Amino acid sequence: MAGEPQDDCLFCKIVEGHIPATIVRETETTVAFRDINPQAPTHVLVIPKVHYPNAVTLAAAEPAIAADVLREAQSVADEDKLDSYRIVFNTGAGAGQTVFHAHAHVLGGRGLQWPPG
């Protein structure tokens, strides 16, 4: 069923506590944890506890939870005292998505160039 945990999903395993992660925030609907391969001094992933393959399918099915993900991204930035930061939703393998459970990357703490390449 839509939103149910998937046995083969790494981020569902982090939500369930079956794989360790450095969790920085948790709410009823979201978990935020440090990326294992950080690309900036702050590199946190904010994920919904429910499983959807990407951010847009999450937003279509559960718009309130998609908004929770964005609110939590801002809370991560506030906690790390970032004035400027980037929120990234890689969507599809061709755009660099490797984990098919919706997640926001929150990146900051260094200069960020645009366009990113």
The residue ranges that bind ligand 5GP (CB under 6 A) are: 10, 19, 21, 33-37, 45, 90, 96-99
What are the structure tokens assigned to 57, written together?
């399918």
55's contact among Zn ion, ligand 5GP, none, with CB below 5 to 8 A by partner kind, is: none
Q: How far apart are CA 5 and CA 1, in angstroms?
A: 9
> What residue 92 binds from Zn ion, ligand 5GP, none (CB within 5 to 8 A, per partner kind)?
none
Do residues 30 and 65 lie in contact, with contact meaning Cβ atoms separated by under 8 Å?
yes
Query: Which one of the spans 45-53, 54-62, 64-72, 91-99 is the region binding Zn ion (CB under 5 A)?
Result: 45-53
4: buried, middle or exposed (CB in 10 Å: 19+, 13-18, 0-12)? exposed
Binding of Zn ion by 49 (CB under 5 A): no
CB of 81 to Zn ion, least distance (A): 30
Structure tokens belonging to residue 68: 């929770």
Residue 105 contacts Zn ion per CB under 5 A: no
Residue at 40: amino acid letter: A
List, by residue number, the catalytic residues.
103
